Amino acid sequence: MSQQGLTLDYSRILSNSVGTTHGLTSAELDGAGRRVMETVATIERERKDGRHRYRDLPDDAAMLRGIRTAIKPRANAFENLVVLGIGGSALGNIALQTALNPPYYNSLPTTRRGGPRLFVVDNVDPVQVASLLEVLGPRLRKTLFNVITKSGETAETAAQFLIVRKLLRDKLGDRALRRNLLVTTDAHSGTMREIVDAEGWETLAVPEGVGGRFSVLSAVGLFSAGMCGINIGKLLSGAREMGKRCAQRTLKRNPAAMLALLLHAYYVRGKRLHVMMPYSHQLKDLADWYRQLWAESLGKCTARDGTPVVVGPTPIKALGATDQHSQVQLYREGPNDKVFIFLEVERFKKDVRIPRVAGTPASLKYLQGTSLARLLTAEKRATEFALVRSGRPCLTIRFPQINEEHVGAFIMLWEAATTIAGYLLEIDPYDQPAVQMGKDYTYALMGKDGFAAQRREIDTFASRGRKSSV
Ligand code: PA5
């Protein structure tokens, strides 16, 4: 990758670092490279036929205009922004906020925040939801709820919506529904679309052909980001530049192709656990976002030609240095079935010096006069070295610094790599039938019309199972 942008360092995955048993040789790279580059060519051809629409989002000027138009009158009008959504309708929002706004953003005084406080409620935990509503209660008038659901059918989001709609109506009256609620949903279909059309509410659209976990660079993720002062134009321009690199036909110029190739090659060799370990608090929620993207896109039981398969790497999140003290023992000495993907930052936005203090014991003198950034980076290098010495392959994605362009690039890199990896695994990376099945049985258990058969099935299953518990 270019030196000004993100770099994907794969030197610690090659056999001359990790050893021949666990490392990849240049010949293996070249061999796999041909198939990967054919896959890239196929994807680029399909893009011309309107597929892989998430790749076009950075160029969608009308979309960006629409989002900015929605932000303008609202940005200074609210103290709180609450995103109601789940999965692909929430994880990107959380990741952008953690990466690009200061930690403890919500606790900063208004003048030091770029916009309203942000709460993303991606669950229906009753204690969590009740507690948030209690906190917001006195300032409800100053709270905007952004309901995000592409399908418009998801039980968790629908339940949150119904609760909030009644709350707003009861406490502030019908007019508040237009002012304090903004729905992001499919432009044409779904129950939420029917509701908003019937009410005549202004909405934001989830672009056609863009699935939930690929939608962070649309209104789904960009509205809340822009409301909270993040430069969404720069996010898109970083993604655009990375998109161009992901279309390159030469393996060594195409970071997404290289990433997919390496992770797929190890998958085939039996290293099916892919641990992403950022050494940066700001990047920790991007690892959550990656976890959904990689898991939901690649874990499938049907190949694209319809034949049954069982495939899918397991993405794992760890945080440096915190999880050195919880997981690295397993990673170094346990089964060698993982690939490590470190996220490293070259220049942190802030640093804290470790002071020299008279009387400090000799055993702590090595810390004096250095800084936390230096310590964290040293810990990353040391952990990587220890893993590599134990024959564990490690990749590093290096951020020159954390800013909108690099975060946009990171998002596009992983989305493009996911498509390529899906094609290498010969599955459809865009569907999620297993998630849908869980949704359907939830509808059945909650008594939704049209799901009686599933209700009978689940009841029969429950009555047959032997009661075993301790
Ligand atoms: O990636 C996906 O498609 C899913 O994770 C969805 O985002 C999630 O299930 C929520 O769906 P919806 O936005 O339709 O409510």
Query: Which domains occur in the chain, in start order?
Result: 7-46+236-424 (3.40.50.10490), 76-228 (3.40.50.10490)
213 lines ligand 1 (CB under 6 A): yes
Residue 240 Cα to ligand 1 midpoint, Å, equals 24
22 lines ligand 1 (CB under 6 A): no
Q: pLDDT at residue 3 above 80?
A: no
CB-side neighbour CA atoms (13 Å) of 420: 34
Residue of 234, 317, 439, 448 marked catalytic: 439
Tell me the pLDDT tens digit for each residue of 124-163.
999 999 999 999 999 999 999 999 999 998 999 999 999 9
Phi and psi, residue 372, nearest 5°:
-65, -35
Assess whether 194 carries a catalytic annotation: no
Tell me the pLDDT tens digit for each residue of 320-333.
999 999 999 999 99
Q: Which of 190, 116, 123, 191 is nearest to 160 (CA)?
A: 123
Let me know: does 353 contact 373? Beta carbons within 8 Å. no
Distance between CA 446 and CA 439 in Å, rounded? Answer: 11
Distance between CA 24 and CA 251 in Å, rounded? Answer: 15
| From 83, 94, 154, mutation site for ligand 1 pocket: most ligand atoms within 8 A of C-beta | 154
Q: pLDDT value at position 194?
A: 96
Q: pLDDT at residue 251 above 80?
A: yes
Distance between CA 185 and CA 191 in Å, rounded? Answer: 10
Assess whether 188 carries a catalytic annotation: no
Q: pLDDT value at position 349?
A: 96
434 lines ligand 1 (CB under 6 A): no
Residue 149 Cα to ligand 1 midpoint, Å, equals 7
185 lines ligand 1 (CB under 6 A): no
Average pLDDT over residues 332-342: 97
pLDDT bucket at 469, cuts 50 / 70 / 90? confident
Q: pLDDT value at position 78?
A: 98
Assess whether 349 carries a catalytic annotation: no
Token code pair at residue 448: 């939704």
Dump the DSSP string for 65-94: HHHHHHHTTTTTT-SEEEEE--GGGTHHHH
Q: pLDDT at residue 1 above 90?
A: no
Q: pLDDT value at position 466?
A: 67
Tell me the pLDDT tens digit for each residue of 426-468.
999 999 998 888 888 999 999 999 999 999 999 888 887 667 7
150 lines ligand 1 (CB under 6 A): yes
% of the chain surpassing 90 pLDDT: 93
